Structure 1
Amino acid sequence: MDVSPVVWIATVAAIIGLLLFDFFFHVRKAHVPTLREAAVWSALYVGIAVLFGLGVLVVGGGTAGGEYFAGYLTEKALSVDNLFVFLIIMASFRVPREDQQKVLLFGIAFALVARTGFILLGATLIDSFAWVFYLFGIVLLVTAGNMLKPEEEDHGADNVVVRTARKVIPTTEHYDGDKLFTVQDGRRAMTPMLLVMVAIGGTDILFAFDSIPAIFGLTQNTYIVFTAVAFSLLGLRQLFFLIEGLLDRLVYLSYGLAAILAFIGVKLVLHALHENNVPFINGGEPVEVAEVGTGLSLGVIIGVLAVTVVASLYSPAGKARTAIANARRHAASYLDSEYTQDPQERERIFRLLLAERDQIASLGPKYTQKAREEEDLMELLERVRDSHDGAVERGEAEPMGPTKILPPRS
């Protein structure tokens, strides 16, 4: 599918326009988006991506349309996986709930810029060196293997980039709204808001190393690669607030993504063999191997994602892990005076905590005991109970009610 410079310019302008619209009309004023707001805007951005894909299908044909949708679904799934890390980073930095939208939008904008650079580099390498397909395939196969290992990377608030920034520039311990710099003791200082953006920007670069080879494994059309990546990132901010409570429940997402990346890695290696010109492989001549078509790629991606999501949502282990992780996060947020200054948001968090408590209890004695073995969670829930009991005595809240999770008071 050939794309004229005019179409390229119009596409880039439209994407930049959507980012600016997001900033000036949604993020500029700090607030916590409602579930309805997040759902409406998530649906809108997905709708725009689907309509664009249908346009590619009509103008470019079935192959181009299939490549776009396969690339979009793969990049969207990888982006959802990235949200786990964003959640960890923001929790580590104790980013106020009202300001999390701005941090996420910065992460999306930075990711788009970084991945555009990788896309241009990848396209140049592919045009010049056929052996790059071998490299991309190996990268994806290694990445797929690493996704099955326990997480060991440092994505928290104390990684190398952040420690270096703190040594070089004076940094405050507390936020000043959503300001990046403030004045402390008469001198200009950096706020944690800038540090969290640096941390997310740094991880975005790491994410590009598996994201870009994956999309090039599905299509070598630079325009389709760019638009699939861009539309998968747009709306990610709204999606975060929409599925935040479900993120921890997707316990098998890493396995599903590993399977998809391994599949694309094998596809790339087969394509590299088919186009081979490396002297020490088959004497520099192409190898006759079967190649994976676009239709099969799209079917495998949809099938793996569907199985992954269904298995995660209906697994008792997934439900328990979700409830325990969410209870820990809600309890920490409820006790953190800097997390939010909105009384309604604080009550919303408490109701969510009670819902997670009931969810754990409903799963039976096995998972109730599992929750009780989480010592940090028990300590947090004890503090929440004491804090809420004090609010009840002052007439500021309703009683918490009995719980099977916390042991009785001694």
Structure 2
Amino acid sequence: MAETPLPFMIGTFVVLAVFFIVDIFFIGRKPHVPSTRECITHIGFFVVAALLFGGLLWMVAGSGPAIEFYSGWLTEYSLSIDNLFVFVIIMANFAVPKTLQKYVLSIGITVALVLRGLFILAGAALITRFTWVFFIFGAFLLVTAAKMVFGSDDDEEYHENGLIRMLRKFMKISDDYDGEHLRTTHDGQRYFTPMLVVFLAIGTTDVLFAFDSIPAIFGLTKDPFIVFTSNVFALLGLQQLFFLLGALLDKLVYLPIGLAVVLAFIGVKLILEAVHENTLPFINGGHAIEAVPEVPTWLSLGVIVVSIGTAAIASLIHMKAEETSK
């Protein structure tokens, strides 16, 4: 398998940076509620961009990295859709005006991307030195999959994390928004607006989701470049998806099951890799089990597509049946 050329990686980072700059400082700076047409256009653009990127990756690095990217992108995109449930709750919890929600998502997602990048670097360094961490990642994904299927509805409620609670204790935060401003003045005193808290809530909450998604994608590829680009392309267009699917998220009833199947499959894949590459005293007399099957990337891609596709179709059928019965 050929390595991804350095010029291609640098060019990719430059183009992705331009995407985010344009999205935040030009498109995102115009307070408005995106129309359905605008949302579909943006989402379509970023989906096509991801598909083209995978094709270019195939040309410069071979089929292996390209299939890994497609698998990782679909997994991260599917998990990002699940994140939208919490984003909806955060927006409602902080009473963010609809005209400012797109801007909030732009900044919040950018914060999340930076924090995810640091998390990816840490994860890459960890698995490079300690391959036994696959056991932990695999077990964590299996537990997460079980929670998605058997968990309670309480998980859908938003609870402020420790960072936000600490912020409220040490900083003066006003009750009202002042447009896009982070600072405002009341009775001659300077306050931070709730916009700052919302930015941090979106960004840090997304990183909490990364504890599910990052181990999942490391189960599909060990290449930090593919891990990072898969996350970026999954986050691009997420704000438009928020407005397009916001009213439909609660109707995608089978999406958690589809995601659970994907995470469970990747969890088993990681554990098999860990058994294959590590020597444990209680397994095979302290020798690595070379006969343990390795799951090919194309099979991973197939499982992801079938699981998410089936969940989406089943949800649509369920939604249609409910509408007919009314």
Q: TM-score range by the shorter chain?
A: over 0.9
Letter in 2 for 1:312: S
Given the two structures, how large is their TM-score scaled by the length of structure 2?
Answer: 0.93
**Residues of 1 paired with 2:129 and 2:168: CA distance?**
42
Q: CA deviation at 1:319?
A: 6.9
Question: Are the equivalent residues in 2 in contact too, given 1:110–1:204 (CA < 8 A)?
Answer: no
Match of 1:126 in 2: 127
Letter in 2 for 1:363: S
**Residues of 1 paired with 2:221 and 2:124: CA distance?**
11
Match of 1:182 in 2: 184
Task: Return the match for 1:248 from 222, 247, 250.
Answer: 250
**CA 1:34–1:154 in structure 2 vs 1: closer, same or farther (change >3 Å)?**
closer
Letter in 1 for 2:154: E
Higher gyration radius (CA): 1
Aligned: 1:301 with 2:263: no
Match of 2:222 in 1: 220
Question: Are the equivalent residues in 1 in contact too, given 2:5–2:60 (CA < 8 A)?
Answer: no
Match of 2:94 in 1: 93
Question: Are the equivalent residues in 2 in contact too, given 1:131–1:278 (CA < 8 A)?
Answer: no
Aligned: 1:363 with 2:325: yes
Residue 291 of structure 1: SS of its match in structure 2?
A: coil
Relative contact order, higher structure (CA 8 A, sep 6+):
2
Count of aligned positions: 323
Q: CA deviation at 1:310?
A: 0.7
Letter in 2 for 1:119: I
Identify unmatched segments of 5+ residues in structure 1: 321-358, 365-410
Question: Are the equivalent residues in 2 in contact too, given 1:114–1:208 (CA < 8 A)?
Answer: no
Identify unmatched segments of 5+ residues in structure 2: none
Match of 1:313 in 2: 316
Aligned: 1:208 with 2:241: no
- Percent identical across equivalent pairs? 49
**CA 1:8–1:61 in structure 2 vs 1: closer, same or farther (change >3 Å)?**
closer
**CA 1:154–1:43 in structure 2 vs 1: closer, same or farther (change >3 Å)?**
closer
Question: Are the equivalent residues in 1 in contact too, given 2:4–2:60 (CA < 8 A)?
Answer: no
Deviations 1:302-355 (A, max 9, x none): 000111001111115x875xxxxxxxxxxxxxxxxxxxxxxxxxxxxxxxxxxx
Match of 1:13 in 2: 14
Letter in 2 for 1:72: W
Letter in 1 for 2:40: A
**Residues of 1 paired with 2:102 and 2:264: CA distance?**
33
**Residues of 2 paired with 1:194 and 1:155: CA distance?**
21
Q: CA deviation at 1:69?
A: 0.7
**Residues of 2 paired with 1:169 and 1:150: CA distance?**
34
Given the two structures, how large is their TM-score scaled by the length of structure 1?
Answer: 0.75
Match of 2:104 in 1: 103
Q: CA deviation at 1:210?
A: 0.8
Question: Are the equivalent residues in 2 in contact too, given 1:162–1:195 (CA < 8 A)?
Answer: yes
